[in-house]
Amino acid sequence: MTTVGNPGSTTAEYERAPSRFTDRITADGRDGWPAEAGRYRLVVSRACPWASRALVVRRLLGLEDAISLAVVDPLQDERSWRFTLDPDGRDPVLGIAFLGEAYAARDPGHDGGISVPALVDVPSGRLVTNDYAQITLDLATEWTALHREGAPDLYPEPLRDEIDEVAEDVHRNLNNGVYLAGFAKSQRAYERAYRNLFACWDRLSERLSTRRYLVGDTITEADVRLFTTLVRFDAVYHGHFKCNRNKLAEDPVLWAYARDLFQTPGFGDTVDFDHIKRHYYRVHTDINPTQVVPLGPDASGWSAPHHREELGGRPFGDGTPPGPPAAEEVPPRGRAGAPGA
């Protein structure tokens, strides 16, 4: 996640910069990066929906002991993501103050964006990949030898075409659609993004009115990708990005679906509403020049009953839910109902 996508764009439409580093960490190490416990560090911002996908998948698959976690400050400076939440302002494992240092170790000439999620090779300190779309798929399919016992299959082979189709619609019109609306530089570009977003919204609401999950009867990659946008919608996208036809809490189907996932181990326990709101409202000064962060909305509703179990489905299929998160990985603020949420 970067703050402005492609800052060099001269068009009225927001353009998301593509992932620059797309090496893959695989079981056979064919790109030179084998899946090994303890070798890589996942760097995330809890504010970022793209990084949050990796947080959720890592929890669901039980990869916490295999891949260590670094959380950056939700506020950036001119050098982008920084480790000011850690003692002495440095990541205790990588020893760096800015994520950009891992990018420079990979490519000293890199002058593009510094984005999360990022997987960094601990021995060399080099960035391996910032390909947010591929990272979670590889965690699900290439790291299976290190999955916890009872880990779900988030990308089942018989359903991959359908998952990809649904995920592409969600990405184009909702995941990225909120940014197309929020960063639009003309009324026409904004209205186009707004209409596409809510057309997709209505398709999803109809689809989920009769089924608990997007594809099949268990949680898949498609649900992870939708959740990380929905959980930010009322807190940020509805007002800050002008996606205000309706709130998530005003759609009975999607609101219940989002609460169902939020209350599922591995989803809500990765969410930090404080980081989310402070990042968007304080970093996007072109949209919110005062940098005032709203106190609402009330997050306690995320804990309300959802009744989605009446639709059937088995969240983890033949598997089991993950155990509680490690104490040091529980967001300290911004949990549902917590002060400052």
Q: Is 132 an annotated catalytic residue?
A: no
Among 241, 242, 240, smallest CA distance to 293 is for 240
The structure tokens listed for 140 are 């699900």
Please calculate the CA angle 116-65-334 and round it to the nearest 5 degrees. 50
Distance CA 281, CA 298 (A): 17
* Residue length of the chain: 341
Active-site residue 48, yes or no? yes
User: For residue 76, what are its two tokens?
Assistant: 């950036």
Residue 172's CB is within 10 A of a number of other CB atoms, namely: 14
Quote the radius of gyration of the chain (alpha carbons, Å). Answer: 19
Which run of H or E residues covers position 206? helix 187-207
Burial class of residue 248, CB neighbours in 10 A (0-12, 13-18, 19+): buried
**Most distant CA pair in the chain, distance:** 55
Among 14, 48, 103, 280, the one annotated catalytic: 48
Catalytic choice (155, 179, 257, 280) = 179
Two structure tokens written together for 194: 């707004």
Kind and range of the H or E run holding 44:
strand 40-44
What is the torsional sign of CA 171, 190, 196, 279?
Answer: positive
Q: Please tell me what DSSP assigns to residue 57.
A: H
Separation CA 168–CA 300 (nearest Å) = 31
Residues forming a β-bridge with 41: 68, 120
Contacts of 64 (CB under 8 A, 6+ apart): 58, 325, 326, 329
User: Rounded to whole angstroms, how far apart are CA atoms 258 and 174?
Assistant: 14
Q: How many helices (H) and strands (E) does the chain have?
A: 9, 4
Question: Residue 220 and residue 213: Cα distance in Å, rounded?
Answer: 8
Active site residues: 48, 179
